[in-house]
């Protein structure tokens, strides 16, 4: 095939024409939809001057084209590939475009499509061009009004952005609604919904006293699962007022839940569209993790109203301008709603397992990429999560007040504009008279920096010398890296675990007991004075920068930090480092054919955690969670699939054998007596109890299986039910099938719960799992066109089942490649994401490497490859 075009940031040109207003008329039918667009255009004073008008458009039939009321002749315009070009365009004029599209045949779920019999849209990033010809780029912001006409019985609810200004009957069973959005917006924020939906209504009074109507739309049968989403929305609205001074700006805010959705949710102005997974929840059907996910995604989309919608991106290279910043905001929101320490550790864990791997692979790119083939491939952990870390570093460097000053200036300066990440950083710098010149490299340079720390204590001079050095490994297209500006939050702990007063050489007096050191050079030395005792340094507190830290800790230092560090992240990290050391040495033993040795110090440490009733149970559960197999794989030069699995399970079982009674006691102590509650204490107790269960089950003893079975049977909530079922389904026991069948029988009507059932089976580390996955693809509840189902079954197998996917036979690879090829034709975005499971192929042993490479090559040779899949496959092989 001919390679699709690459788009470069350096080629950016402002739009030649701007759109002042856009009026859209939709006529929805059972086989098609007719769209009439009227664009009031004018020359962009900041553009290149008069010339042809180029509009984007894909997969549609042009049925009418008029300029200022006059039908255009065939020679006055040209349609080539995905554009419509008017050769002569006056400095201003009204263009009227009629197109016919086929939402019923749209399986890509981009543009206007049908889900569960309802119409809905997804326009980010470039879906609007499947609805009408238009300058489909974020720096063209227009005032939209939208009229929708449809059959009233089938589609009683007709929604779009902004305010409803008119609605009525039309005869022959049809009706209409007219919506107007007063805020100019880019086309990617357009939304339309037409369907048979039930509404939950509430109101929110803003701090200036305006009343906002809140409407959440779901299928009738799901009305009992909306309460948590509505509560989360009101909390988010209040939080943005309090923390950032941001008020909502329309009189109505609507959320619609749909079952078929490529991502989590979408922030369309005034009309957010959500994957139903991030709206619907009640205790019986949703886990504590699901409830947290809903709160954070509802917050995320709501926060986009200011960081994304009021101020949007100039071009898609600036995606992190809205996504990194909004992830940062949703993380802060969740931290304020629950335990800050727990949330931070969860975020770091996610970053390390997803983003670090991305940064080390063939698709590595800077937070602000320089080129892409398909923008949909750049909705990545780097743009989102690393982007959020970059914002967090700015906060760490400026302090809370300085950061708020910078945000205020950013909003004041750029409201209503489409801007760049440079504009954001400049506002932060200007508001604080700070210099972020070097810091900007975080946006331009890909790769995870490695920071090394070593130190000496000089008893005679009572000084402590800390040397920090940094190095960023090469990434594709960026062989050489410059030093970054890295904030390293730190403290020095005395032997009792207290923070010591900090005084750097040259300072008059000690100031404070914790600091942020600014590492700017390749290597820098910091000398602390007046220290009467040798300290243990607590470094990278709160994970103050997205780096890999190699610190010269001894085993005793780690035990000490795990027991004493007042910084929760560092405390947790010390435990992780101990576990990682034990597992890595287990892997070496396994490779050498030796018996694995158990590190008794770890059992002591874990024993102390389990009996410490001062500890927040949610934090204790995190301390007990072993590093994931994915993160461990990332730490090895050559991934050892079996070694990782064996050594990690050996550690789990070794701990369980030595501490069985302590785990059992913790299990019982944290069993819920009262009714189900979502308060953090109760959530934490469930997490700790289920962590204990996972250790106990590793003993493979019949009475432990009974324990899990009993929990499964008695559970009144999905958290406990899933935790027990997961344990039962991931071990070969006589009750395994029985439990899975029981779960299916109970939940066969609930699509979201069945996703869990598919995922649990797809991630079983058991022989024969691939056959089970193949059979499940034939199950009546499985639908290849539904992204949630694909993620639950195929995605979980490819990314959540290392021993299954990487089975030495190569069958796992061939199976996933078949699915990528099949999905390429149906839904390229989903196909490309699934293909990402092969990205780390070069890091495996020669046999597996060859097997994965062969599948990638087979995919690349597939005819009619989408740009999405082409980009991932070709860059992976490059
Ligand atoms: N802007 C959305 C968010 O992060 C992301 C999104 C939703 C998206 N649906 C999409 C991106 C489809 C690409 C394609 O909140
Ligand atoms: Zn977002």
212 Cβ inside 6 Å of ligand 1: no
Cβ atoms of residues 839 and 363 within 8 Å: yes
Residue 183 scores a pLDDT above 70: yes
User: Rounded CA gap, 500 and 530, in Å?
Assistant: 10
266 Cβ inside 6 Å of ligand 1: yes
Which residue has the CA at smallest separation from atom 2 of ligand 1? 266
**Residues, CB-to-ion distance under 5 Å, ligand 2:** 323, 326
Q: Which pLDDT band, with edges at 50, 70 and 90, does 68 fall under? A: very high
265 Cβ inside 6 Å of ligand 1: yes
* Reduced 3-state DSSP string for 446-501: CCCCEEEEEEEEECCCCEEEEEEEEECCCECCECCCCCCCEEEEEEEECCCCCECC
Please name which ligand lies nearest the alpha carbon of 267.
1
Can you spell out the DSSP letters for 261-317? -SSSEE--TTEEEEEGGGT---TTT--HHHHHHHHHHHHHHHHTTTBTTTBEESSGG
User: Rounded CA gap, 87 and 529, in Å?
Assistant: 73
**pLDDT by residue (tens digit) across 271-314?**
999 999 999 999 999 999 999 999 999 999 999 999 999 999 99
CA 301 to centroid of ligand 1, rounded, Å: 10
Long-range contacts of range 571-578, CB-CB < 8 Å, 24 or more positions apart?
A: 571/623, 572/345, 572/619, 572/622, 572/623, 573/540, 573/543, 575/605, 575/609, 575/623, 576/627, 577/553, 578/602, 578/605
Neighbours of 716 (CB within 10 A): 11
User: Rounded CA gap, 668 and 696, in Å?
Assistant: 12
Query: Quick one: pLDDT at residue 674?
Result: 83
Which residue has the CA at smallest separation from atom 1 of ligand 1? 266
830 Cβ inside 6 Å of ligand 1: no
Residue 672 scores a pLDDT above 90: no
Query: Quick one: pLDDT at residue 1?
Result: 52
Sheet holding 548-551, edge to edge: 523-528, 463-471, 450-458, 548-551
User: Rounded CA gap, 436 and 485, in Å?
Assistant: 9
Cα pseudo-dihedral 59, 63, 65, 70, rounded to 10: 180
Q: Which two tokens stand for residue 20?
A: 């002042």
124 Cβ inside 6 Å of ligand 1: yes
Identify the three-state secondary structure at position 373.
Answer: coil
Burial class (CB in 10 A: 0-12, 13-18, 19+), 221: exposed
Q: Which two tokens stand for residue 576?
A: 């992780």
Cβ atoms of residues 439 and 483 within 8 Å: no
301 Cβ inside 6 Å of ligand 1: yes
Can you spell out the DSSP letters for 116-131? TTEEEEE-TTTTGGGT
Neighbours of 595 (CB within 10 A): 8
Query: Quick one: pLDDT at residue 756?
Result: 99
Query: Quick one: pLDDT at residue 441?
Result: 98
109, 121, 263, 331: which to mutate for ligand 1, most atoms within 8 A of CB?
A: 263
Angle at alpha carbon of residue 356, lines to 353 and 362, rounded to 5°: 115
Which residue carries 């743009």 as its tokens?
383
Which residue has the CA at smallest separation from atom 15 of ligand 1? 266
122 Cβ inside 6 Å of ligand 1: yes
CA 382 to centroid of ligand 2, rounded, Å: 13
Which residue has the CA at smallest separation from atom 10 of ligand 1? 263
Angle between helices 751-762 and 718-729 (to 10 degrees): 30
User: Rounded CA gap, 396 and 390, in Å?
Assistant: 10
Q: How far is CA 4 from each of CA 1, 59, 869, rounded to the nearest angstrom?
A: 9, 17, 11
Q: Which atom of ligand 1 is nearest to the CA of 300?
A: 15
260 Cβ inside 6 Å of ligand 1: no
Which of 781, 756, 759, 773 lies closest to 819, judged by CA?
773
Q: Which pLDDT band, with edges at 50, 70 and 90, does 682 fall under? A: very high
Calculate the CA 412 to chain-centre distance: 28
Can you spell out the DSSP letters for 30-60? SS-EEEEEEEEEEE-TTSS-S--EEEE--S-
Beta strands in 502-637 (DSSP E): 515-519, 523-528, 536-539, 548-551
**pLDDT by residue (tens digit) across 616-657?**
999 999 999 999 999 999 999 999 999 999 999 999 999 999
CA 400 to centroid of ligand 1, rounded, Å: 29
Which residue carries 């499985």 as its tokens?
782
Calculate the CA 744 to chain-centre distance: 29
**pLDDT by residue (tens digit) across 480-514?**
999 999 999 999 999 999 999 999 999 999 999 99
CA 124 to centroid of ligand 1, rounded, Å: 6
Q: Which atom of ligand 1 is nearest to the CA of 308?
A: 1
Residue 417 Rama label (left phi>0; alpha psi -120 to 50; beta) = beta
CA 730 to centroid of ligand 1, rounded, Å: 33
**pLDDT by residue (tens digit) across 513-557?**
999 999 999 999 999 999 999 999 999 999 999 999 999 999 999
**pLDDT by residue (tens digit) across 570-613?**
999 999 999 999 999 999 999 999 999 999 999 999 999 999 98
User: Rounded CA gap, 688 and 667, in Å?
Assistant: 8
Rounded to 5 degrees, φ, ψ at 446 are: -85, 170
* Reduced 3-state DSSP string for 205-272: ECCCCCEEEEEEEECHHHHHHCHHHHHHHHHHHHHHHHHHCCCCCCCEEEEEEECCCCCCEECCCCEE
Residue 167: strand pairing partners: 177
**pLDDT by residue (tens digit) across 437-453?**
999 999 999 999 999 99
Pairing, β 418-419 against β 312-313: parallel
Beta strands in 376-460 (DSSP E): 418-419, 450-458
Which residue has the CA at smallest separation from atom 9 of ligand 1? 263
Which of 344, 352, 347 lies closest to 632, judged by CA?
352
As a whole number of Å, the CA-based R_g of the chain is 28
380 Cβ inside 6 Å of ligand 1: no
Q: Which atom of ligand 1 is nearest to the CA of 304?
A: 15
Rounded to 5 degrees, φ, ψ at 721 are: -65, -50
Neighbours of 5 (CB within 10 A): 10
Query: Quick one: pLDDT at residue 2?
Result: 63
263 Cβ inside 6 Å of ligand 1: yes
Query: Quick one: pLDDT at residue 673?
Result: 73
323 Cβ inside 6 Å of ligand 1: yes
CA 264 to centroid of ligand 1, rounded, Å: 7
Burial class (CB in 10 A: 0-12, 13-18, 19+), 675: exposed
Rounded to 5 degrees, φ, ψ at 652 are: -60, -45
User: Rounded CA gap, 706 and 2, in Å?
Assistant: 59
Mean pLDDT, rounded, of the chain: 98
CA 322 to centroid of ligand 2, rounded, Å: 7
Can you spell out the DSSP letters for 80-102? ETTEEEES---SEEEEEEEEEE-
- Average pLDDT on 70-90 reads 96
Cβ atoms of residues 451 and 550 within 8 Å: yes
Q: Which two tokens stand for residue 561?
A: 């930090």
Burial class (CB in 10 A: 0-12, 13-18, 19+), 768: exposed
CA 124 to centroid of ligand 2, rounded, Å: 10
Q: How far is CA 577 from each of CA 550, 561, 562, 581, rounded to the nearest angstrom?
A: 10, 11, 10, 6
User: Rounded CA gap, 366 and 390, in Å?
Assistant: 11
Cβ atoms of residues 376 and 652 within 8 Å: no
Residue 96 scores a pLDDT above 60: yes
Which of 687, 55, 661 lies closest to 339, judged by CA?
687
**According to DSSP H, which parts of 629-701 are helical?**
629-635, 641-658, 660-669, 680-697
Cβ atoms of residues 473 and 449 within 8 Å: no
Residue 3 scores a pLDDT above 90: no
Q: Which are the catalytic amino acids?
A: 301
Which of 848, 855, 856, 852 lies closest to 872, judged by CA?
856
Cβ atoms of residues 189 and 309 within 8 Å: yes
**pTM score above 0.85:** yes
Residue 755 scores a pLDDT above 80: yes
Is the previous residue joined to 617 through a cis bond, with omega within 30 degrees of 0?
no
């Amino acid at each position: 095939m001919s390679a699709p075009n690459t788009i470069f940031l350096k080629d950016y040109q402002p739009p030649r024409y701007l759109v002042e207003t856009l009026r859209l008329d939709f006529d929805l039918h059972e086989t098609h939809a007719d769209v009439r667009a009227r664009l009031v255009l004018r020359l962009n004073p900041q553009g290149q001057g008069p010339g042809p008008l180029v509009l984007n458009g894909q997969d549609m039939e042009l049925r009418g084209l008029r300029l200022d009321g006059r039908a255009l002749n065939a020679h006055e315009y040209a349609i080539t590939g995905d554009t419509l070009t008017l050769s002569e365009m006056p400095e201003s004029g009204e263009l009227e475009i009629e197109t016919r599209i086929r939402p019923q045949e749209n399986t890509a779920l981009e543009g206007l499509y049908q889900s569960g019999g309802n119409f809905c849209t997804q326009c980010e990033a470039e879906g609007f061009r499947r609805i009408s010809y238009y300058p489909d780029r974020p720096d063209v912001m227009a005032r939209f009004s939208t009229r929708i006409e449809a059959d009233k019985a089938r589609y009683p609810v007709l929604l779009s952005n902004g305010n409803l200004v008119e609605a009525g009957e039309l005869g022959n069973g049809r009706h209409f609604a007219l919506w107007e959005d007063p805020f100019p917006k880019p086309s990617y924020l357009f939304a339309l919904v037409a369907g048979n939906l039930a509404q939950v209504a509430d109101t929110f009074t803003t701090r200036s006293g305006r009343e906002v109507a809140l409407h959440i739309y779901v299928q009738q049968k799901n009305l009992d699962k909306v309460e948590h989403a509505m509560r989360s929305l009101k909390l988010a609205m209040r939080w943005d007022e309090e923390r950032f001074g941001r008020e909502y700006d329309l009189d109505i805010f609507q959320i619609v839940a749909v079952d078929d959705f490529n991502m989590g949710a979408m922030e369309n102005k005034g009309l957010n569209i959500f994957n139903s997974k991030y709206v619907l929840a009640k205790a019986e059907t949703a886990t504590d993790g699901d409830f947290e996910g809903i709160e954070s995604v509802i917050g995320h989309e709501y926060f986009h109203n200011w960081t994304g919608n009021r101020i949007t991106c100039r071009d898609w290279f600036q995606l992190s301008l809205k996504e990194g910043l909004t992830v940062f905001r949703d993380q802060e929101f969740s931290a304020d709603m629950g335990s800050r320490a727990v949330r931070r550790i969860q975020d770091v864990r996610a970053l390390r397992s997803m983003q670090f791997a991305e940064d080390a692979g063939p698709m590595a790119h800077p937070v602000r990429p320089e080129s892409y083939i398909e923008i949909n491939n750049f909705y990545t952990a780097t743009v989102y999560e690393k982007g959020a870390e970059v914002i967090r570093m700015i906060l760490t460097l400026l302090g809370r007040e300085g950061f708020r000053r910078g945000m205020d200036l950013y909003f004041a300066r750029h409201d209503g504009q489409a801007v760049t990440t440079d504009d954001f950083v400049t506002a932060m710098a200007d508001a604080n008279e700070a210099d972020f010149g070097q810091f900007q490299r975080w946006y331009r340079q890909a790769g995870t920096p490695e920071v090394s720390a070593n130190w000496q204590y000089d008893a005679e001079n009572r000084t402590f010398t800390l040397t920090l050095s940094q190095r960023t490994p090469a990434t594709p297209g960026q062989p050489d890296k410059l030093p970054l500006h890295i904030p390293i939050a730190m403290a020095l702990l005395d032997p009792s675990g207290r923070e010591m007063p900090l005084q750097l050489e040259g300072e008059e007096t000690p100031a404070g007991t914790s600091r942020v050191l600014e590492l700017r050079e390749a290597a820098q030395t910091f000398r602390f004075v007046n220290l009467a005792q040798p300290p243990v340094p607590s470094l990278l507190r709160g994970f103050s920068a997205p780096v890999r830290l190699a610190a010269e800790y001894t085993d005793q230092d780690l035990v000490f930090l795990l027991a004493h560090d007042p910084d929760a992240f560092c405390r947790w990290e010390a435990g992780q480092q101990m576990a990682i050391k034990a597992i890595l040495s287990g892997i070496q033993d396994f490779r050498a054919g030796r018996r694995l040795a158990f590190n008794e110090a770890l059992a002591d440490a874990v024993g102390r955690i389990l009996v410490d009733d001062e500890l927040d149970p949610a934090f204790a559960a995190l301390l007990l969670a072993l590093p994931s197999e994915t993160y461990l794989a990332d730490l090895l030069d050559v991934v050892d699939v079996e070694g990782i699995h064996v050594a990690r399970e050996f550690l789990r079982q070794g701990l369980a054998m030595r501490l069985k009674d302590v785990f059992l006691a913790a299990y019982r102590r944290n069993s819920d007596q009262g009714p189900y509650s979502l308060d953090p204490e109760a959530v934490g107790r469930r997490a700790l109890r289920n962590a204990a269960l996972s250790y106990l089950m590793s003993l493979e003893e019949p009475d432990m299986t009974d324990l899990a079975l009993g929990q499964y049977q008695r559970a009144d909530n999905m958290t406990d039910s899933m935790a027990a079922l997961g344990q039962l389904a991931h071990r070969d026991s006589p009750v395994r099938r029985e439990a899975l069948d029981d779960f299916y029988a109970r939940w066969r009507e609930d699509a979201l719960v069945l996703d869990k059932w598919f995922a649990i089976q797809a991630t079983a580390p058991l022989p024969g799992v691939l056959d089970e996955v193949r059979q499940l693809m034939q199950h009546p509840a499985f639908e290849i066109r539904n992204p949630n189902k694909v993620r639950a079954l195929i995605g979980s197998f490819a990314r959540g089942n290392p021993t299954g996917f990487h089975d030495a036979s190569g069958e796992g690879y061939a199976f996933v490649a078949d699915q990528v090829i099949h999905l390429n034709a149906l839904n390229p975005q989903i196909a490309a994401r699934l293909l990402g499971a092969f990205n780390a192929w070069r890091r495996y042993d020669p046999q597996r490497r060859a097997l994965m490479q062969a599948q990638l090559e087979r995919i690349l040779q597939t005819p009619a490859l989408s740009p999405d899949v082409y980009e991932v496959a070709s860059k992976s092989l490059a």
